[in-house]
Structure 1
Amino acid sequence: MDYSKFLSERSKLRQPSATRALAPFLHQKDLISLGVGQPNPDTFPYASMSVTLKTGETLNIDEQLFSRALSYDNTQGLPHLNEWLCQLQKIEHNPPVDFTLSIGTGSQDLLTKTFEMLLNEGDPILIESPSYTGCLSFLKTLNCNFVDVMTDAYGIIPEQLEKILEAWPESDPSGRQNQPKPRCLYTIPSGGNPTGATSTIERKRAIYDICHKHDIIIIEDDAYYYLQFTVERVPSYLSMDVDGRVVRCDSMSKILSSGLRLGWVTGPKPLIERINLHTMGTNLQPSGIPQVMAYQLLAHWGHEGFFHHVKNVAAFYRQKRDDFVECLDRHMKGRATWAVPSAGMFFWVRLLGGINDSEDLIMNKALKQKVLGLPGVKFMPHESKTEYIRLSYSNVSKENMDEALRRLALVIDQEAEVNGLKIEDLGRSDQ
């Protein structure tokens, strides 16, 4: 593929940093470097590091790796960790075409760099509606033209995506007749935030075929991929990428630690290299200490140990999901409708009771009852009012789930009464 046509003008201007370009040579033992202003590690006060696991095991960080982690290193991440993750991608996804990988300060860091690489100011971007508020906030700073793609309980509806692209520019929401066709699609295919939706393999194949037909880059934001509750995980877009049109972002936040701030991006070498050029000019590299902490644990486990761990993590959240469903059934039937997610941490709940705008109810009335959710407007690309709210079950006990939903039900009842409705008149939720 000719990737130059996908690059923003800003990305095309990025050049390698003269000093960062030397980073791969810094650890070559037979080379004497006079070229880089590397601080002398003899002045650093740290001597060693060990980490205690919840199993009671102690991981002593390799002395040389620890020393390396204290200094500047490769833009694309600690080579040991990068290689481990590359092997993970081959085992889990087996991409059909060559790929490369770069580590970042969380997947959000890599997503924002991907957006800047692909989008000029005012460019259209195909985006799920609703979508992740963190990326929406960043994309608004690029003055993007959001092209909403309708979703349901299984994510993007392929027919809607095809309809938009076939009818372009008539389907351009900006109404500008000379607006270029979108070059990229942003999607959260597993346990979507906020909807909890997980795309089926059939839908992914249909969407990939549409993107192939219209020459669209797929930005696969899959932070919840390993939190799928089914026995077999739904294959990724990366696993079917015969064209080299997928840029995939993974995260350690949901499976190791959110405070490590580590993520990785996988995709065609020309695009990943552009992301690396961005890193060279901004934060230089991902932090060394979190990387070496993650690598020592992953090397200790091996890939089979990692898969065992994520299986347990997914089982943990599946139980949380089941507990939340029980509490929803007890308190919210007749007051709301919802689909049960098969991955992730979220329910996308449609409020009944004549509620058309959930923001006031959640941010004012529910807060007075000491219960917190997120109003759906925060996830709408065009900030349109909605009766939906996002509720998360990830970090709350079953007892507190039950009490929170009891309080929320009370608020909905009060709002329905104001609207001249009674809950018994609303009917039962259709599961």
Structure 2
Amino acid sequence: MAPIECYERFLSGEARRFTHASLAALINRFSGVDDVISLAGGLPPAAAFPLERIDATTRTGLTVSLGEEGQLAYLAQQYNFNPQGHTPLLASLRDLTQRLHGVPVPAAPAGGEGPWAAKQGGGAAQAPAGPGEEAAGDAGAGPAPAAPPAPLPPRDLVLCSGAIHGIFAAIACLTDPGDTLVVDEYTYTHALECVFLPRDLRLLPVRGDEQGMDPADLEAQLRAVAAAAASGGAGGAGAVRAPRLAYVIPTGHNPTGAIMGEGRKRELLQVASRHDLMIIEDDAYWWLTYPQPGSQAQAQAEAQAQAQAGPADAAERPQDPSLQAGLGGLPRSLLSLDGEGRVLRVDTFSKLLGPGYRLGWLTAPLPLVPKLANWVMGSTVGPCSVTQVLVHQLLQRWGWEGFDTYLRGLQASRGGGADAALYASRAAAAHAAALEHLGPLGAEWRQAHGGMFMWIRLPVPDVGALLDSLVAARVVVAPGGMFATRGLQATLVVDDGRQGPGTPAEGPGPGPVASPFLRLSFAGLPPAAVAEGMRRLAGATREALAGAAGEGGAGGAAGGQGHAAE
């Protein structure tokens, strides 16, 4: 299938009206050029800034300094007029994008050399296979293809103020009010409440499972809505419009924790191609991927753990949580598999470094980059300069090997006791606590293999109805109804032969949607606190079930853990 040549049909009216930021472009054009006296910009002088130096120290003792050298303190406090972001950081992230996703980007370093050239033994990631090629080392892979795969369409990057800013930019540039947006039946509530609904989009929910969005249901929904649009179907919100954009969260899905496999991603791209869809790949939790059972990283970890174990305890020795895949073991992205230029990827430092940095980036087909950059400039004049300069210096101080080491520790454990255990360790502890406290109630869930969340189904009709009991038990979880895209005023219902809005929610916004699910985060607290929270949650649930039984309602559920419902 051929790459998209013209993106005009995907653009919103707002994006079509964009012109370039002429003054910013003029200032940026001559920035850094020797012997140029610029009288064009209203830039404060360096003497007006209060900070001469900004120093930071990492947990491992590495220092990062922004001072006079390279004018770093000045740049950190000044406007940045490159519409795509701080130029040195942009270069480093382009290098990262080419290494991890295999897509061509402007000024990409040849031969793997660049701002993050890996030291010997640094564990640099292997460039992904092309969209029609199996990844090297895949189990059951056939012989190498007779001809090399088609090259991936070129992309470029735009820095933004975190993932939600990037999502907002993509939605603003690719949808008009009243358009139909494809979403999961449960999705990221902040994007739902703060971007999709205020944009007046109509939502087309698609069923999911342990791998996220179901391509078969997506195909069925798209055919149904296309038929409704062709027949002139209309609901209370106006004529049905066939969607041109889908929003997906492939890794550590928020809220369900689902992880989309490579085969599922390829199927999703095939459906998108048949129906001419663009895809927003919101992959904030991609960096927090743990080794999957049967993966090469898992096998290596188990082999090393067994070699270190004595004969008496080898069978029972758990996997060492510090043996993680790092940069080289991150899963294939939709971006890396996209041979047509349909994927607009959203990355963020929020889960990688910290949400307070408010820094992320968009990777988009080249024709869309000026539109996205214009929207970012119009909304914030770019991300915070202090953050951009500081993060770039941190990445440079780490280098590729240091960054890989940091990521491995983030995915697993930094050591220092239970309070220091990070994502993989905390996920395993949370699963064990759920088995102990929620399993006997008949709750259902899947063990997390990435991200920050467990998606748990309680044996009750609506977790939201338990909130008062949970408050009394002094434990807080997020009811699944907060993330639901079905049953809203904006929901487009086509799968049962009807078109138009679904049942209106009570009041503005998402409204209270009944759901037996809850989202539980194991990320922010040490395992002991999570286990105590599980115990309190189980107690409140048990009381609710006993009360329902006493009133002639649903009695206690059967014990034992099941699999999470789709």
TM-score (norm 1): 0.95
- For the pair 1:338 / 2:445, whether they are aligned, the reply is yes
Q: State how far apart, in whole Å, the 1-side matches of 2:18 and 2:364 are.
A: 19
Return the match for 1:278 from 365, 375, 381: 375
Corresponding residue SS for 2:363: strand
Which of 72, 84, 107 is equivalent to 2:79?
Answer: 72
Please tell me whether the aligned partners of residues 428 and 447 of structure 2 are also in contact (alpha carbons under 8 angstroms): no
Q: Deviations over 1:189-212 (max 9, x none)?
A: 000000000001000000011111
In the TM superposition, 1:164-243 aligns within 5 A as 164-170=221-227, 176=234, 178-230=239-291, 231=297, 232-243=329-340
SS state at 1:126 partner: strand
Residues 88 and 303 in structure 1, CA contact (< 8 A), matched pair in contact too? no
- State the match for 2:431 in structure 1: 325
8 Å contact kept, 2:252–2:453: yes
Q: 2:529 aligns with which of 374, 391, 400?
A: 400
- How far has the Cα of 1:307 moved from its partner? 2.1
Closer, same or farther: CA 171–207 of 1 in aligned 2, 3 Å: farther
Counterparts in 2 of 1:39-188, with a 5 A limit? 39-61=44-66, 63=68, 64-73=71-80, 74-95=82-103, 96-137=152-193, 138-170=195-227, 176=234, 178-188=239-249
Cα distance in 1 between the residues matched to 2:264 and 2:381: 38
What is the root-mean-square deviation of aligned Cα atoms in Å? Answer: 1.6
Q: Please state whether the residue corresponding to 2:532 is helix, strand or coil.
A: helix
SS of the residue aligned with 1:427?
A: coil
The structure 1 segments of at least 4 consecutive aligned residues displaced by more than 3 Å after TM superposition are 169-172
For the residue of structure 1 that corresponds to 2:444, the secondary structure is strand
Unmatched 5+ residue regions in structure 2? 104-151, 292-296, 298-328, 413-421, 489-509
Moved more, 14-23 or 130-139: 14-23
Distance 1:16 1:400, change over 3 A: same
Q: Distance in 2 between matches of 1:56 and 1:280?
A: 36
Residue identity opposite 2:72 in structure 1 = L
| Kept after mapping to 2: 8 A contact 1:20/1:284 | no
Question: Residue 168 of structure 2 aligns to a residue in which SS?
Answer: helix
The one-letter amino acid paired with 2:267 is A
Structure 1 counterpart SS, 2:197: helix
Deviation at 1:124, TM superposition (A): 0.1
Indicate if the aligned counterparts of 2:52 and 2:67 stay in contact, CA closer than 8 A: no
Structure 1 residue 102, shift from structure 2 partner: 1.0
Match of 2:408 in 1: 311
Give the letter for the 2:279 counterpart. I
Q: How many residues align?
A: 426
> 1:51-95, CA deviations, whole angstroms, 9 ceiling, x for partnerless residues?
111112222225212211211112211110000000001001102
User: CA–CA distance in 1 between the matches of 2:35 and 2:164?
Assistant: 38
User: Aligned partners of 1:11, 1:360: CA distance in 2, in Å?
Assistant: 43
C-alpha separation between the residues in 1 aligned to 2:364 and 2:182?
Answer: 19
Check the 8 A contact 1:253/1:261 in 2, yes or no. Answer: yes
User: Partner of 1:427 in structure 2?
Assistant: 559
One-letter amino acid of the structure 2 residue matched with residue 119 of structure 1: T
Give the Cα separation in 1 of the matches to 2:10 and 2:204. 17
Is the CA contact (8 Å cut-off) linking 1:132 and 1:193 kept in structure 2? yes
1:422 Cα offset (Å):
4.8
Is the Cα contact below 8 Å between 1:131 and 1:193 reproduced in 2?
yes
Find the counterpart in structure 1 of residue 312 from structure 2.
Answer: none
Q: Where does residue 457 of structure 2 map in the other structure? A: 350
Q: After TM superposition, give the deviation of residue 40 of structure 1 in Å.
A: 1.6
* 29-38 or 241-250, larger mean C-alpha shift: 29-38
Deviation of 1:97 (Å) = 1.8
- Asked if structure 1 preserves the Cα contact closer than 8 Å seen for 2:51 and 2:73, the reply is no
TM-aligned CA deviation for residue 233 of structure 1: 2.5
CA contact (8 A) 2:20 2:370 kept: no
**Distance in structure 1 (CA, Å) of the matches to 2:376 and 2:205:** 29
Q: Which amino acid aligns with 1:349?
A: I
Distance 1:175 1:359 in 2: 34
Partners of 1:344 and 1:171 in 2: CA distance: 37
1:367 aligns with 2:485: no
Secondary structure of the residue aligned to 2:91 is helix
Residue 264 (1) aligns with residue 361 (2):
yes
1:10 to partner: Cα distance: 1.3
* SS of 1:109 mapped into structure 2: helix
Equivalent in 6, 9, 15 of residue 13 of structure 2: 9
Write the distance in 1 (CA, Å) between the matches of 2:534 and 2:233.
Answer: 42
CA contact (8 A) 1:198 1:341 kept: no
Task: Give the share of equivalent positions with the same residue, in percent.
Answer: 31
Q: Kindly indicate whether residue 76 of structure 2 is the aligned counterpart of residue 20 of structure 1.
A: no
- Counterpart contact for 2:183–2:205, Cα < 8 Å: yes
What is the DSSP-based 3-state SS (H/G/I as helix, E as strand, rest coil) of the residue aligned with 1:415? helix
Corresponding residue for 2:322? none
Q: Distance in 2 between matches of 1:143 and 1:42?
A: 47
Letter in 1 for 2:521: S
